[in-house]
Amino acid sequence: MLQGRICAELRESYRILYSGTEINARVAGRLRHEARSRLDYPAVGDDVLFEERHGEAVVHGIVPRRSAIIRKAAGTAYEGQIIAVNVDYLLIVCALDADFNVRRIERYASLAACSGVAPVLVLNKADLCRDLDLKLLELEHITFPIYVLAAAYGNGIETLQPYLKDTVALVGSSGAGKSTIANALLGEGRQHTAAVRADDSRGRHTTTSRQLFPLASGGSLIDTPGMRELYLWADADAIDDAFGDIETLARQCRFSDCAHDSEPGCAVRAALGDTFDVARFENYCKLRREQAYLERKVDAQAAAQELARWKALHRNAREHVRFKRRQ
């Protein structure tokens, strides 16, 4: 059995990076049958065990993952969707133009905390920003590294070099400049780029699928499509980890189970507007509400699926009895 790494995920197939070459691949029937959800299928960044058959790789197993970046699947489905696995650093790309959004950055930071990945904030398009100092002031509560780039001109790209010995993933909204940064890090124009809309700086989806590229430094780069909808697939504890300053204040609340709503002696509420940003607290509460809602929906969906399974078993049993009677 050979071992390679998933470098691209297509609609019904994959591509595996093995010994410097890419091989078309598909999932073995047994692995597909044993998968309980889409989270059990191979994803970009996975180390997989495979065998070659007639020039095609057949994936038989997945090497245990050390990290997994998962979000709620877009749309109405209540299931997880893997963005990338075995990632060491999550490079959160945010443009410094009209699309700059502190609350979105906090959401991506929560995604990193939920995934067990170290976040790094990359502020791009510094050449279009006239109030950089004010924007950095809005980010003073950020405790992880922040880098300022003008990737279109190659300015600041060298500051990301320390992370390129490991696996890094680029995430951010469309138009933030992920593909431009990817091309700069790769040293070649592998990813297509396009201009953003002039009225709101929103971008177009130039990267349409997740792809892994080996780097000359020995690491790997995973580029992902822009995400205009990002709901976390995590538990409340992971969100709390992303908002450590709130949790530190919460330890001073009178009640250990304080919801920071209207309880007396709430240290978090007392700090709002004084030493703590109200908008950041509201974003924390919003993420917690989304998580609780998603948890209820997933539990209800699981219960409905289990009920449907038992109904199918009972229906098959009744049909078997009727068949025996007719015999």
Are residues 192 and 76 located together in one domain of the fold? Answer: yes
What whole-number distance in Å separates Cα of residue 115 and Cα of residue 119? 10
Number of domains in the chain: 3
Are residues 129 and 143 located together in one domain of the fold? Answer: yes
Q: What is the pLDDT of residue 132?
A: 93
Are residues 40 and 120 located together in one domain of the fold? Answer: no
Are residues 17 and 115 located together in one domain of the fold? Answer: no
Q: What is the pLDDT of residue 26?
A: 94
Q: Is the pLDDT of residue 169 over 70?
A: yes
Are residues 201 and 127 located together in one domain of the fold? Answer: yes
Specify if 209 maps to a domain: yes
Are residues 72 and 215 located together in one domain of the fold? Answer: yes
**Mean pLDDT over all residues of the chain?**
85
Residue 204 half-sphere exposure toward CB, CA atoms < 13 A: 8
Which band of pLDDT confidence, cut at 50, 70 and 90, is reported for residue 199?
low
Are residues 39 and 186 located together in one domain of the fold? Answer: no
Are residues 208 and 80 located together in one domain of the fold? Answer: yes
Q: Mean pLDDT across the stretch 218-230?
A: 84
Structural element, H or E, at residue 21: strand 21-27
Beta bridge partners of 277: none
Q: What backbone phi and psi angles, to 5 degrees, belong to 41?
A: -85, 160
Q: What backbone phi and psi angles, to 5 degrees, belong to 214?
A: -70, 145
Full-model pTM: 0.79
Are residues 96 and 201 located together in one domain of the fold? Answer: yes
Which of these, 175, 298, 267, 263, lies nearest to 227 by C-alpha position? 175
Q: Is the pLDDT of residue 198 over 60?
A: no
Structural element, H or E, at residue 48: strand 47-53
Q: What is the pLDDT of residue 228?
A: 65
Range of the domain at 81: 68-223
C-alpha distances out from residue 108 to 78, 210, 243, 250, Å: 20, 17, 12, 22
Are residues 271 and 159 located together in one domain of the fold? Answer: no
Question: For 19-72, what is each residue's pLDDT tens digit?
Answer: 989 999 999 999 989 988 888 999 999 999 999 988 899 999 999 999 999 888
Are residues 95 and 27 located together in one domain of the fold? Answer: no
Specify if 228 maps to a domain: no
Structural element, H or E, at residue 29: helix 29-34
Higher pLDDT, 115 or 6: 6
Q: Is the pLDDT of residue 131 over 80?
A: yes
Q: Mean pLDDT across the stretch 63-90?
A: 87
Q: What is the pLDDT of residue 220?
A: 96
Specify if 51 maps to a domain: yes
Of 170, 198, 223, the one marking the end of a domain is 223
Q: What backbone phi and psi angles, to 5 degrees, belong to 178?
A: -60, -45
Specify if 230 maps to a domain: no
Are residues 120 and 137 located together in one domain of the fold? Answer: yes
Q: Show Cβ contacts of residue 139 under 8 Å, excluding neighbours closer than 6 positions.
A: 102, 105, 121, 146
Region for residue 218 given its phi and psi (left: phi exceeds 0; alpha: psi -120 to 50; beta: otherwise): left
CATH code at 104? Answer: 3.40.50.300
CATH code at 319? Answer: 1.10.40.50
- DSSP per residue, 76-88: S--SEEEEEES-S
